[in-house]
Structure 1
Amino acid sequence: MLAVRAVCRHLNTVSSGNPVWRQLFQRCLGVAVPRPFFLPKALKITSARDLEGALRKWRGGWEPVRPVQCSRRPVCWAKIHTREVLHNTSVITPGGRWIISGYTDGSVWYLDLGDDTTAPLELTPHLLIPSSFSDDFVAEHEIQIRLAPDFLSDESLGPSSTSHTLLQFNIAVVTGDPLQTHVGVWSVHVDTESGATSTLKLGGKVSSFVDVGDAYPQSACLYGRFLGYCLSLNDTTCVVIIDWAEADGKGHDDGILRWYVPLEAAKSMYLLPGDRLFTADDYDNASLYNWRTDCPSSTLPPSQQELDPVDPYWHRRLDRTLYFDGIVTPTILHGSVQVIIPSDEEVISVKIPLDPSASEDYTHILSIIKKPEYEIARQLRAFGHRQGVGLSADHVLTLIRYCSEDGVGGELLPTRVQSFECPDLTEMKNPPDCLLYDEFSQRVMLMDAELSYTLTVDT
């Protein structure tokens, strides 16, 4: 219909009503667009124009102007005081409205980007989750923090799944110090009653437990009732998966049931429907596990375990560098979970069937970009379902558009590769150190290591 409306005036007129577009959107869910899909407003109050715009954004991506324009907004530090943001903890919510970050004292703050990211107004950080550590403890110990939001499961999203806009979600905060690993799972709500501007509001802690100390979390992920985190412990690593509802209120030696993936050094990981676990490490390995059936379980803590390695049911070692930091939240389409895995020699799409009775042989691999004629090493990058974006050290923005349903293979080029110079960045003393990309709104955000500003790429 998107194509027909562009060439046929009569069909453009008869298909412009709100009921038509709402029905079309419902039919597209899980087929042409992923489920869940996040609109700027609830479906029942979204106009036909906004629905068409959202679908076109998803299908068509964006076309930067030349030269690329970036809107800079400073971040007010008055509320943060001496806290520092921890590297690679920032996430952008679906729809591109909020950026959530973890800080060195174990607290979690967010920035409200608003509807107009080009407004030159100063951004004020808002406290989302307070630190559980005292100031004296923070001054004496190094604290690591990992954030794991769940933007995929119905249990986490609640009414968001039927309204098709972000109304609530769960987020896990995993903090490690020399004494203990603290885990808290919180419910976060979008508060629309505080005024014209929506804000994030803490709904309450739904789970809290303690695991072993001296085991710093490397990564974490949350899906439904299960939390996974990768621990570095005694010169070895393992992934631990826990039912956070069952573990609520327990200590590390109180009989918490854990599933283990021994020797897995996951730098990026996602728990997926059907008890699957996807991992990517910095040794260029991507793996899939059936964690509930294939991985050992025990109530003993990791420090008391001697477990044999577990073979993944699917494994791919990339020939060259795997960019685990460029993997974004998987999408659900055509009855499968899809993960896009970038490397500097190839970008592949992995499709995992949702049907639990489907054979492991049905995991489908597509090479969507083969031997690309561009350089994404030494870049900030993010690869979504249909589009990837990267920023090089010499301030060149690369936009890679592809069709992840159809592999190109061989020597063929992706659908489109474009490079754009960003002259606004050349004079900056503290250049961008983080790139966040939201495929629903097509927002591309750049930030420095201290999160002292945000840059919105004009899309």
Structure 2
Amino acid sequence: MELFRRYVAQWTPGAISWKKRASTETSRSTKPTLISMPQEILVMIVAELSGTDVVQLRKTCKLLEELSYNRAAWREIFLNHIHTTLPKPFFLPKPLQECSSKLIEQSLANWEAEWAPTIPTTEHVIHASRDPIGKRQLVATCLLPGGRWLLAGYRDGSVWYFDLDVKGTISPALLIESPYPESLASTNKVRLVFSVDLLSDVAQASPPGSYHLTQFNIAIVASHIRRTVDTVVSVWRVQIALENDSATGLRKVELLSTFHEERFEDVWSCDLYGTTLTYLGRTTGGPTSIIIVDWPDAAGQTDINRVLRRYISSSDSARAFLLPEDRILTVVNYGARESPGEIQLIHWRQDCPVTSTSPSQQTHPLPIVGPKKHGLPLIYLASVTSPAVIADELRFVVPARGHLYGLVIPLSFALGPEEENIRVELLVTGEIKPGQQMRVGYRQMFSMTTLNEREQARA
């Protein structure tokens, strides 16, 4: 409230306890009061406060209570927060220009609410029908910000989505079909990973000034178990389908890139940021590597020996995340189940040479050397979040044995020296069970299990 006091310091104390007077008495008064100030000035004052302070204004007087619901003020408060305390990506339920003051206030309040000191044990169970998925096996999931849309990848190479806002039993809808013909897809022997880009300018997840999710890019790596079949990599643009200005589903709208890659014996993860795609896999007879590709350059390529790649040596138990300024973060578990996790930053465009050599033929990928950050217990790798930007920092949530950790990295090289600025913070403690397809969001954790041929989601 300091800012507000600075603005009203010239007013009399009685102005805060304003009571309605006759118009003749007001006109004779020589001392300024709240009622005498132009509405635009009062709105400007309120807009400079924090959301918490604006709510406190409601306890002072009728005039300030009315101002605390002003939409223009809340719009400015939101814009102030989006550059300081709110994460990016952060999406409102509606475009900002369509949001009421109440909706903006609720969105800010949900984010600024204090963390519980321990992880709550309550669960919300959602039952999901397996029709029309049938006997397809779930292998990958992604919960989009806002908690409504759940993406799910299956062993035939297809990607479906669930609308978690539906009351009762939810049913899947097909988003992207398998890249393989039915004769191969129906065998349900496709290794599939996918990644969603909501952060980069290339994805254009939100129109300028709207702060509302309208589309995203998704990369899919599908590798059939049959030795004679290539891996297929594709990047799609997906939009939120609307009906009468209300979101009704998801739909693919454009195939941005597709190319062939060598068949993988195993493929564990991928990550998409802007025009760069990375995936972690092992080919038959080859080493386990993190492979980095500029997907626009590879578009349309069916000859695996003509795809330009960069390589980083890795472990089976690893994840890789693409970051701004051509950095890549690796998160690795080594050795036995109780071994600590390690994290490291690498400048892939600077340190990893370009080659068209296929994954099984490359013999000298860049080794992971240099400083590593220790101190984490066993990490649940599949559940490490994609990064969010808050102010000038990149932040991850890292689920590990017994705790949730925060991983903080400078957004830019210019902000500090590399690995020395990586911070690990304890967020919350409690019993963390990895479950099947566990995903952690800004405030919620989600997992899926299969019981008696029916999917069950826990949030």
Shorter-chain TM-score range: 0.7 to 0.9
Q: Against the structure 1 CA distance between its residues 167 and 196, is the aligned structure 2 distance closer, same or farther, given a 3 Å change threshold?
A: closer
Q: Does 1:243 align with 2:246?
A: no
Q: Secondary structure at the match of 2:256?
A: strand
Q: Does 1:203 align with 2:253?
A: yes
Q: Against the structure 1 CA distance between its residues 293 and 180, is the aligned structure 2 distance closer, same or farther, given a 3 Å change threshold?
A: same
Is the deviation greater in 353-362 or in 97-106? Answer: 353-362
Give the drift of 1:69.
5.6
Q: Secondary structure at the match of 1:91?
A: strand
What amino acid is aligned across from residue 304 of structure 1 in structure 2?
Q
Distance in 2, matches of 1:360 and 1:302, equals: 32
* CA deviation profile, 1:234-256 (whole Å, cap 9, x unmatched): 26210111111110010243522
Q: Does 1:75 align with 2:128?
A: yes
Q: Report if the CA contact (8 A) 2:159-2:177 is conserved.
A: yes
Give the drift of 1:198.
2.3
Match of 2:230 among 180, 185, 198: 180
Whichever of the two has the greater Rg, that structure is 2
Distance in 2, matches of 1:331 and 1:297, equals: 29
Distance in 1, matches of 2:56 and 2:292, equals: 52
TM-score by length of 1: 0.77
Give the drift of 1:26.
1.0
Match of 1:21 among 74, 83, 101: 74
Q: Report if the CA contact (8 A) 2:156-2:187 is conserved.
A: no
Match of 1:315 among 372, 375, 386: 372
Give the match for residue 134 of structure 1.
Answer: 181
Give the drift of 1:227.
0.4
Give the match for residue 435 of structure 1.
Answer: 438
Give the drift of 1:347.
5.9
Distance in 2, matches of 1:266 and 1:373, equals: 24
Q: How does 1:158-177 map to 2 (within 5 A)?
A: 158-160=205-207, 162-177=209-224
Of the two structures, which has the highest relative contact order with CA contacts closer than 8 Å and spacing of 6 or more? 1
Q: How does 1:139-154 map to 2 (within 5 A)?
A: 139-140=186-187, 142-154=189-201
* CA deviation profile, 1:229-285 (whole Å, cap 9, x unmatched): 001122621011111111001024352211111235463221111111112123222
Q: Where does the alignment leave 5 or more consecutive residues of structure 2 unmatched? A: 1-49, 335-340
TM-score by length of 2: 0.77
Give the drift of 1:147.
1.0
What amino acid is aligned across from residue 230 of structure 1 in structure 2?
L
Give the drift of 1:454.
4.0
Q: Report if the CA contact (8 A) 1:183-1:209 is conserved.
A: yes
Q: Against the structure 1 CA distance between its residues 438 and 369, is the aligned structure 2 distance closer, same or farther, given a 3 Å change threshold?
A: closer
Match of 1:230 among 273, 280, 284: 280
Give the match for residue 425 of structure 1.
Answer: none
Q: Report if the CA contact (8 A) 1:350-1:363 is conserved.
A: no
Give the match for residue 146 of structure 2.
Answer: 95
* CA deviation profile, 1:16-64 (whole Å, cap 9, x unmatched): 2111111111111131112221111111111111111111111215779
Q: CA RMSD in A?
A: 2.9
Q: Secondary structure at the match of 1:50?
A: helix
The count of corresponding residues between Structure 1 and Structure 2 is 394
Distance in 1, matches of 2:405 and 2:447, equals: 25
Q: Does 1:300 align with 2:357?
A: yes
Q: Does 1:341 align with 2:395?
A: no
Distance in 2, matches of 1:345 and 1:312, equals: 29
Q: Against the structure 1 CA distance between its residues 13 and 62, is the aligned structure 2 distance closer, same or farther, given a 3 Å change threshold?
A: farther
Q: Does 1:2 align with 2:51?
A: yes
What amino acid is aligned across from residue 448 of structure 2 in structure 1?
M
Give the drift of 1:183.
0.2
What amino acid is aligned across from residue 135 of structure 2 in structure 1?
T
* CA deviation profile, 1:322-344 (whole Å, cap 9, x unmatched): 23233212111222212233434
Give the match for residue 330 of structure 1.
Answer: 387
Q: Report if the CA contact (8 A) 2:383-2:439 is conserved.
A: no
